[in-house]
Amino acid sequence: MQIADFHLHSKYSRACSKDLDIKNLEKYGKIKGIDILGTGDFTHPKWIMELKSNLKEHQEEKGIYVSSGNQRFILTTEISLIYSDQGRGRRIHNVVLAPSLEVVDQITEYLKKHGRVDYDGRPIFKIPCDEFVYELKKISDEIEVIPAHCLTPWFSIFGEMTGYNTVKECFKDQTKHIHALETGISADPGMIYRVKDWRQYALVSNSDSHSFWPWRIGREATLFNMKNISYNNLINSIRNKELAGTIEVDPGYGKYHFTGHRNCNIVMNPADAEKIHNICPVCKSKMTIGVSARVEELADRPEGNYDDVQESYSIMPLTELISGYYKYPLASKKAWKTYNDLIARFHNEFNILLNADLGELKKVVDEGFSHVILANREGKIRVKPGFDGVYGIPLIHGDEEYDFDVKEKEGYTEKIVKIGKNQSTLGNFT
């Protein structure tokens, strides 16, 4: 089983850690237990120079690049396409996977004809999605384009603000080249497969990480089951819907799962928000409509357990469990000590979250926290849903309140976002 996180960024992307470099990606990729990382941002001129200097193509695994510490990488980037179509402004993010540095150079040269690539690791172009795919496929059929965080309200193929309802509406005659959708933090396979059009696609999950910290990198990942790793084998697994599954956080953890308006401290489930026409009851402006509401709008079948849903494992990052259980700040020395003690015993985080047994866990942490890790593995930890840019909160003790929104700036900062008592009357968290 190979664990892959293809969608992340570098220090050259906006709102990302200035220390998000190869060294830290390698270090924390191994600590997390990620077998294959995406490079992110391969169109940025400074970052591609660093990639070419620090990564070498694997001698036996074609299209896979390795660092000096033997961390595997695949060449990836995220491109923002902002354009008008069908009388409406569209803002779509796509993840692009490339088979070689030579192909990356050709992609970059194509994009430079449409604008700059040096100002941001995730550059913006006024190119329709179908034209974008057509031109990339002229460069190489081995290039894979995957709609990023496919339901996020602001920048995605199905997002409430500027999105489409189907893949074909977006990619038109190039739909034949789209094989997968990225779930995003605020959605999971069970939600996406409620919509008929979306069920035909493989689902991948990635962190979209803006830092290397273990509460971000690898928080979502894609699972591949293969003996011989290569770029083409990975791509064929996606194209043929032969993925082993995904690792997902509870979609309520995402920043856009429920509908709400954080400036007015309002959060609501789709049914309650619909009753008031998605208008904030405090300021009377339109609320940010959540991913769950968007799914309800387009679903052709109710929530439930269906046999055709791609397999996934719902687990929260270990750091979130430590912080929630012991009530330590997420990046505090006490939280790091607990985390590092567990890593020293079990080698990487995914091994702890997915495999470590109760007896072994109790040799490192107390029994209560050991049971929290097992409950997390079994999907038994409820989450107070995120909304309008505010992360959801794992309910370890059951009395947690919205109290901060994590922003990526030099690793970690906190912004206080207190939510008042009206949450209990306006929102239903069950």
What's the CATH number where 160 sits? 3.20.20.140
Average pLDDT of 42-71?
97
Q: How many domains does the chain have?
A: 2
For residue 62, what pLDDT band results from cuts at 50, 70 and 90? very high
Average pLDDT of 25-39?
98
User: Do 12 and 143 belong together in one domain?
Assistant: yes
Q: Is residue 14 part of a domain?
A: yes
User: Do 218 and 351 belong together in one domain?
Assistant: no
Q: Is residue 274 part of a domain?
A: no
User: Do 9 and 128 belong together in one domain?
Assistant: yes
Average pLDDT of 281-298?
96
pLDDT of res. 406: 40
pLDDT of res. 401: 86
User: Do 223 and 334 belong together in one domain?
Assistant: no
**123 token code pair:** 């550059």
Does 349 have pLDDT greater than 60?
yes
User: Do 238 and 322 belong together in one domain?
Assistant: no
User: Do 129 and 22 belong together in one domain?
Assistant: yes
- Residue 260's nearest CA partner among 420, 62, 119, 79 is 420
Domain end call among 345, 360, 377: 377
Does 154 have pLDDT greater than 80?
yes
Q: Is residue 227 part of a domain?
A: yes
Does 424 have pLDDT greater than 60?
no
Tally of CB atoms within 10 A around 50:
17
User: Do 35 and 127 belong together in one domain?
Assistant: yes
pLDDT digits (tens, 9 = 90+) for 75-133: 999 999 999 999 999 999 999 999 999 999 999 999 999 999 999 999 999 999 999 99
CA 333/CA 365 separation, integer angstroms: 16
pLDDT digits (tens, 9 = 90+) for 164-205: 999 999 999 999 999 999 999 999 999 999 999 999 999 999
Average pLDDT of 319-326?
97
Average pLDDT of 381-399?
94
Q: Is residue 311 part of a domain?
A: no
Tally of CB atoms within 10 A around 410:
10
Does 422 have pLDDT greater than 70?
no
User: Do 198 and 121 belong together in one domain?
Assistant: yes
pLDDT of res. 427: 29
Q: Domain of 344?
A: 317-377
Average pLDDT of 348-372?
98
Q: Is residue 197 part of a domain?
A: yes
For residue 14, what pLDDT band results from cuts at 50, 70 and 90? very high
User: Do 248 and 339 belong together in one domain?
Assistant: no
Does 268 have pLDDT greater than 70?
yes
Residue type, position 150, single letter? C
pLDDT of res. 208: 98
Q: Is residue 391 part of a domain?
A: no
User: Do 239 and 328 belong together in one domain?
Assistant: no
Q: Is residue 282 part of a domain?
A: no
User: Do 224 and 350 belong together in one domain?
Assistant: no
For CA atoms 213, 216, 222, 225, the dihedral sign is positive
For residue 365, what pLDDT band results from cuts at 50, 70 and 90? very high
Q: Is residue 221 part of a domain?
A: yes
Domain end call among 252, 278, 302: 252
Does 321 have pLDDT greater than 90?
yes
User: Do 160 and 70 belong together in one domain?
Assistant: yes
More confident site: 216 or 428:
216
pTM: 0.92
Average pLDDT of 267-288?
96
For residue 402, what pLDDT band results from cuts at 50, 70 and 90? confident
Average pLDDT of 13-28?
97
Domain end call among 377, 402, 421: 377
Average pLDDT of 398-426?
43
pLDDT of res. 403: 61
